[in-house]
Chains A and B, each alone.
Chain A
Amino acid sequence: MPQLNTYRGGPDERGHFGLYGGRFVAETLMPLVLEVERAYRAAKADPTFKAELDYYLAHDVGRPSPLYLAERLTEELGGARIYFKRDELNHTGAHKINNCLGHVLLAKRMGKPRIIAEPGAGQHGVATATVCALFGLECKVYMGEVDIERQQPNVFRMKLLGAEVVPVKSGSRTLKDAMNEALRDWVTNVDNTYYMIGTVAGPHPYPTMVRDFQSVIGEEVRDQIMAAEGRLPDTLVACIGGGSNAMGLFHDFLDEPTVSLIGVEAAGHGIETGKHAASLAGGVPGVLHGNRTYLLQDDDGQILEGESISAGLDYPGIGPEHAWLHDIGRVRYVSATDREALEAFKRCAAAEGILPALEPAHALAHVIRISGSLPKQHLLVMNLCGRGDKDIFTVANALGVSL
C-alpha cells in the first residue's frame, strides 16, 4: 500500500524512488539480488535480527555516538548553535561500521562464508574487514590502485584485520572500477559470496538496506537533540559521496517540515572546472552499478571520473534516493571545493580539537559558510561521519608539508 503524504514510504516494491533506483544487473546476478532481498525482508521482520544488531552497535561500535555542541566554533562563527554528531568516534572511526554490521549479520543468516567489498576511502573496507574478523568470515576487498595509494594507512589496517586487498587496475582505478571488479567477483562466485555494498547505491534492495542500517544516526540525533534542547533541529548537514551517512542522518527527519536538510557534494577544483565529483550539480540521470541515478557522464553515456581531494566522495554517482529527494526538492544539495574542505579541516582541528575526515570536512565547509548568517537560536546538526587520521598524508601533501 503506498503511503501518501510521506517522504519515507519509498522505494516501491521494485526498488524505485520515483524515476531512480531499480535493478539493472546482469542475469547471473539477478537471482542473487532477489535472494538478498528475500533474506533482508525476513530479517527485518524478525525481532532477533534487530536485537542482535542493537547488541553489536552498543557493545562493539559504542553507540549511541555523542551529539556534541561545538561551542568554540559556534562562538567564532557567531550564528547557529552547531552540533556535531560524532560518528567518527565509532569503532573503526566512521559511520561505515553501522552498515557493515547489518550486512554481516544478514550474510551469516544466509550462510555465506565469503564477503566482498569495494571501499573508496577505505573506511568501508576497514569496517568490512573488522566485522569479517569479528564473525570469522573470509574477506576480499577490491580497491582502486589510485585509492590504495592515497589511503595507505587504511589499506594496512584492512590487511592487519585479515582481509585480502586486491588492487584494481582497470578503468580509472578508483571506486567505480572497484565496484565493477566486485560485481565481476560476485558474478563468478555466486554460491558462497555476499556483496557488502558500502553506500546507498547498487541494485535494489541495497540502497534501502544501507539506508536502514544507517538510519540509527538520525534516530539517535532526534533523541539527543530533544534531550539537549527540547526541540527538533532546524538544519541537518551531511556530506555526500554515494550518500550513506547523509541518508542515515536525514531519513528520520524527512517528514518533519520544519527541519531543512542539506547535502554537500564534493566540488573538487570547482564545479565550473569540470574537475569535481558533484553528481547532482554536474551530472545527468543514467544507469550504472545496478541503479538509475544522476551520473557524471559525457554526451555518449560514457562515465566520467569524479575528482575530489577526498577519496570517499569521488564516486561519479549518488544514491538513487538522493536523486529523488533532489528532484522533489525535499533536500537541498550544495557543494564545497577541495580548498574549502581543507580550510574547514584546519579550522575544526584548531577550534574543536578534532581532526575530521576530509569527507565531513566538506559538510563543515558549508556549515562555516552559512552559520554566521543564521540566528543564535538556530539548531544545526552536522554529521561528523569520520575521523581524519587516515587523511593526514593527503592533507600534508595539499599543504606542502612532507612527513
Chain B
Amino acid sequence: MTIALVPPAEPAAPEDGRLTRRFAELKTAGRGGLVTFVTAGDPDHDTCLALLQALPGAGADLIELGMPFTDPMADGPAIQAASLRALKSGARMTRTLDLVRAFRAGDRATPLILMGYFNPIYRYGSERFIEDAAAAGVDGVIVVDLPPEEDEELCLPALESGLSFIRLTTPTTDDRRLGVVLRHTGGFVYYVSITGITGAGAATEEAIAAAVQRLRRHTDLPVAVGFGIRTPDQAGAVARVADAAVVGSAIVARIAANLDAEGRATPELLDDVLGFVRALAAGVRGHL
C-alpha cells in the first residue's frame, strides 16, 4: 500500500475543469444536460441561495446565474422582471459573488456560469471581476453585449485567468462569422435557437438539430441550446440533439408565480420551482 505523502494537487484551473468534466460525464451517461437559469437575488438573497443549493439535487446539471441589470436588452418580460425584483431586494455584484461562494462551499462539482450585461461588470472593474469571480468558484461567464469585436474588454483577460468565456451564437451568425465568434469561446457554445429575446417562441426540433449539426462542423466544444424552451418535453427534445438544454424564463416565471402581493417568496416557492426542475430533469433523461 502506498501512502501519498502530499495531497493530490488541485488541477491548475479547477473552474475550467468543472465544465469539461460535467460534459464528459453527460457523454458517458449518454444524455444531454439540463442548464437551469435563475437571477441572482431573485426574489431575495436567501431564497435564491436555498434554490441554488437545491438545484443540483433536483436534476440541474449546470447552473446559470443571472447578474441583475436594469436594462437587459436581450431579455423578455420574465427575466426583466426577475432582474428588477432582485435589484429591489438589494442585489448587486458583490452579493451575486457571495451567492456563488456560498453555493460553492457546498458543491464542488456542479459548474456555475454567470450571465449578464457588461455595464455592471465594467463598473465593478473587469480585472477585479475576473479575479473575484474565479476565486468565488465561477466556471464561466456569458456577457450578452460583448461580441468578439470587443474581446479585449473581458474575454481575453478572462481566458488568461482560466475562466471560460461562453459565447452566444444565433441563427444570424453565418458560417463566415462563426469562426470569429468561436475563436475564444470556451467551456461550451450557447446556441440561441431563435432570433428574439428570452422567453419568446420556440424553434422547431428540426431547426435546432440542423443548427447544432452546423455548429459541430465548426467546433468540438459541447453545444447548449437555449431561448424558448419551456416544458419538459421541449427540454427532452433539445437534449436529444444537443449537449444541453437551457431553461430560463419558464423557471423564473415559476418564481414569479410564487410571490405574495408584496413580492415576497411564499412558503411554497421552493417546492414548486424545484418540482418543475425535477420535471425538466426527467425530460432530459427521457423519463417522461
Contact = CB atoms under 8 A, between A and B. Distances in A.
A187 to B, nearest CB: 6
Nearest to B116: A301
Contacts of A177: 71
Interface string A1-32: 00000000000001000000011111111111
Nearest to A35: B172
B70 interface: yes
Given A287-B122, A295-B119, A300-B93, A27 B70 contact: no
B73 interface: yes
Contact of B196 (A188, A287, A292): A188
Given A27-B170, A188-B200, A286 B119 contact: yes
Contact of A184 (B70, B117, B146, B197): B197
A74 to B, nearest CB: 44
A27 B192 CA distance: 9
A251 to B, nearest CB: 25
A206 B172 CA distance: 20
A270 interface: no
A356 to B, nearest CB: 31
A275 interface: no
Contacts of A290: 145
B195 A287 contact: no
A2 B171 CA distance: 36
Interface stretch (B22-30, B173-181, B253-261, B262-270): B173-181
B147 A287 contact: no
Contacts of B217: none
Contacts of B71: 171, 176-177, 180, 288-289, 303
Nearest to A22: B150
Interface in A255-286: 284, 286
Given A30-B147, A287-B145, A301 B119 contact: yes
Interface string A189-214: 11000000000000000000000000
Most buried by B among A284, A300, A303: A300
B124 A26 contact: no
Contact of B167 (A25, A27, A188, A299): A27
A300 B192 contact: no
Contacts of B117: 287
B177 A28 contact: no
B145 A24 contact: yes
B132 to A, nearest CB: 14
Most buried by A among B73, B117, B146: B73
A170 interface: yes
Nearest to A34: B177
Given A180-B73, A187-B197, A301 B124 contact: yes
Most buried by A among B87, B123, B168: B123
Contacts of A187: 73-74, 195-197
Contact of B73 (A14, A30, A189, A289): A289
Contacts of A297: 119, 123
Nearest to B87: A302
Interface residues of B, number: 43
Interface string B65-99: 00011111110110010001001000011000000
A160 to B, nearest CB: 30
Contacts of B70: 171, 302-303
B234 interface: no
Contact of A287 (B72, B74, B118, B170): B118
A27 B170 CA distance: 7
Nearest to B80: A170
B90 to A, nearest CB: 10
B32 to A, nearest CB: 22
B73 A26 contact: yes
Contacts of A188: 195-197, 200
Interface string B145-172: 1110110000000000000000111111
A183 interface: yes
B202 interface: no
A184 B173 contact: no
A31 B172 contact: yes
A27 B119 contact: no
Given A26-B144, A171-B71, A190 B92 contact: no
B109 interface: no
A187 B147 CA distance: 14
Contacts of A28: 74, 168, 170-172, 192, 195-196
B243 to A, nearest CB: 19
A112 to B, nearest CB: 15
Given A27-B169, A31-B174, A184-B73, A302 B196 contact: no
Nearest to A181: B73
Pick the 5 closest A-B CB pairs, nearest first: A301-B123, A301-B120, A300-B92, A188-B196, A28-B170
16 contacts: A24-B145, A24-B146, A24-B150, A26-B73, A27-B167, A28-B195, A31-B172, A31-B177, A187-B73, A190-B195, A286-B122, A289-B71, A292-B122, A295-B119, A302-B68, A302-B120
